[in-house]
Every structure is written in structure tokens, then in C-alpha cells.
């Protein structure tokens, strides 16, 4: 019988190298069948991460915070206090061995979580992550409505076990995103739940994430659990 999924919550900010070391060790144990799948909810101290597609020109202020190269897909992202980072160590091989479907489930999980707070998250072709429309802002030069990113998604697989995951902006310092071009996208901004006027606590967000994980992934786990 497969052990139940483990949920971990860290109250204090976790240094990035410490988080990566844990993920790599747990992923190896999951692949070997010696540890359960794990979802880790945490915050980081302010830092930038560079995914496998990161372009040097998108690191606008390289001396502002620590910069960590990472094996996940994507470009530059910011992590810091007030942002819920969700590291997802799941056995994708036993959950259908379908990477595209797995990413779609992660996207659906974020969108369903945001919906609990009345926020409509949307996907955009060619733009990774989850976006919200900002009709109160000035339209883009081509007349398209302004949109801001509220959640980032980037994963890595090792022996069909996922690492890294997603981040949702609850109440980070949005000026900290100014040191990079987030995910290489210059024409759109970044927002958060509090910036959108949602009085949400981290505990509220964590509870919504747990509820919606069950709703999205139910029946898709190892051996059909």
C-alpha cells in the first residue's frame, strides 16, 4: 500500500539551497519507494532563481538579491516573504506518466484555489503561469486589456518524480520583481491577492490549496488512490 501524501508547512523562511537539497533527497526516496509523496508549503527569503531558459539580459539588477541557478524549466522568477511557494514532489510516473496532463493539473489547482477568493485566474497561450485581467489599468499599446501575473509554475522531473512546483503571490513586495524580467515577459506586470483587494492570510491560502488539491488530483494518484 502506498503511504499517504505528506504535507509540510514551514513557518520561517527556508534558504533556497536547503529546499533544493530536501527536494532532491525526497524525490530519490519516492522513486525508490522508501518515502511518501510530499507537498511542501513555505516562503523563501528574497531571492531570484534562473530556470533552464533564463536569459542574462532579463536579470536587470544582479546585485539586488541572491541569484540561484535551478534545474526547473522556465526563466527568471522571484521568491520572497509574502509569497506562498508550493514544492510538489509527486510520482508522476505512477500518476499516469503524462507530463502535459500533470502541468495542466497544476494550473487547474492554482485557478481553483484563486477562485475560492473570488479571483479569476486565466491561462494564456505562450505565457507560463496564471494571469488576471486588470481592466482598471491602462490598456496595452495594441488596445488589449492589461493583465498581471499572480502565480508562476515551473517543474523538473527526475525518474518521473516532480520537483519545484508553483508560487502564488499573497502579499510579497511587488517592487522586488523589478530586478528581473519575470519569466521573460516585459509587457505585463505582477500582482498579488492583497494587491487585488483580497484580505487573505497565508493560513487561508494553505487551506484552500489543500482543499483544491484533493478536488483536482482525486483519483489521479498512484494506484488510483
CA distances from 104 to 34, 46, 62, 121, 218 (A): 27, 28, 32, 13, 14
73 annotated as ligand-binding:
yes
176 annotated as ligand-binding:
no
Note whether 209 and 193 are within 8 A (CB). no
53 annotated as ligand-binding:
no
2 annotated as ligand-binding:
no
162 annotated as ligand-binding:
no
Contacts of 23 (CB under 8 A, 6+ apart): 40, 87, 89, 163, 164
219 annotated as ligand-binding:
no
153 annotated as ligand-binding:
yes
Confirm whether 183 is a catalytic residue.
yes
CA distance 26 to 35: 7
42 annotated as ligand-binding:
no
96 annotated as ligand-binding:
no
Enter the C-alpha cell of residue 163. 520537483
The angle, 0 to 180 degrees and rounded to 10, between the axes of the packed helices 99-115 and 202-217 is 140
Beta-strand relationship, 76-79 and 47-50? antiparallel
Q: Tell me how crowded residue 47 is: count the other CB atoms within 10 A of its CB.
A: 18
Q: Which contiguous run of DSSP H or E holds residue 162?
A: strand 161-169
Q: Which residue out of 110, 183, 193, 205 is catalytically annotated? A: 183
74 annotated as ligand-binding:
yes
184 annotated as ligand-binding:
no
Annotated binding residues for substrate, written as ranges, equal 72-79, 152-154, 165-167
Catalytic (active-site) positions: 183
Question: Which residues fall in the annotated binding site?
Answer: 72-79, 152-154, 165-167
Amino acid at each position: 500500500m502506498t503511504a499517504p501524501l505528506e504535507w509540510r508547512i514551514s513557518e520561517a523562511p527556508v534558504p533556497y539551497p536547503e529546499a533544493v537539497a530536501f527536494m532532491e533527497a525526497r524525490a530519490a526516496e519516492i522513486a525508490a519507494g522508501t518515502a511518501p509523496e510530499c507537498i511542501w508549503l513555505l516562503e523563501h527569503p528574497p531571492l531570484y532563481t534562473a530556470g533552464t531558459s533564463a536569459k542574462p539580459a532579463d536579470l536587470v539588477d544582479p546585485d539586488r538579491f541572491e541569484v540561484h541557478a535551478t534545474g526547473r524549466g522556465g526563466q527568471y522568477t522571484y521568491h520572497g516573504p509574502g509569497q506562498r511557494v508550493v514544492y510538489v514532489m509527486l510520482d508522476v510516473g505512477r500518476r499516469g506518466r503524462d507530463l502535459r496532463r500533470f502541468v495542466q493539473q497544476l494550473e487547474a489547482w492554482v485557478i481553483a484555489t484563486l477562485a475560492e477568493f473570488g479571483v479569476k485566474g486565466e491561462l494564456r497561450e505562450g505565457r507560463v503561469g496564471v494571469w488576471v485581467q486588470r481592466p482598471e489599468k491602462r490598456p496595452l499599446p495594441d488596445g488589449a486589456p492589461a493583465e498581471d501575473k499572480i502565480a508562476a509554475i515551473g517543474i523538473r522531473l527526475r525518474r518521473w518524480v516532480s520537483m519545484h512546483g508553483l508560487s502564488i503571490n499573497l502579499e510579497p513586495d511587488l517592487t522586488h520583481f523589478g530586478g528581473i524580467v519575470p519569466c521573460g515577459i516585459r509587457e505585463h506586470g505582477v500582482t498579488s491577492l492583497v494587491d487585488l483587494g483580497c484580505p487573505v492570510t497565508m493560513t487561508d491560502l494553505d487551506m484552500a490549496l489543500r482543499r483544491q488539491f484533493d478536488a483536482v488530483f482525486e483519483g489521479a494518484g498512484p494506484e488510483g488512490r
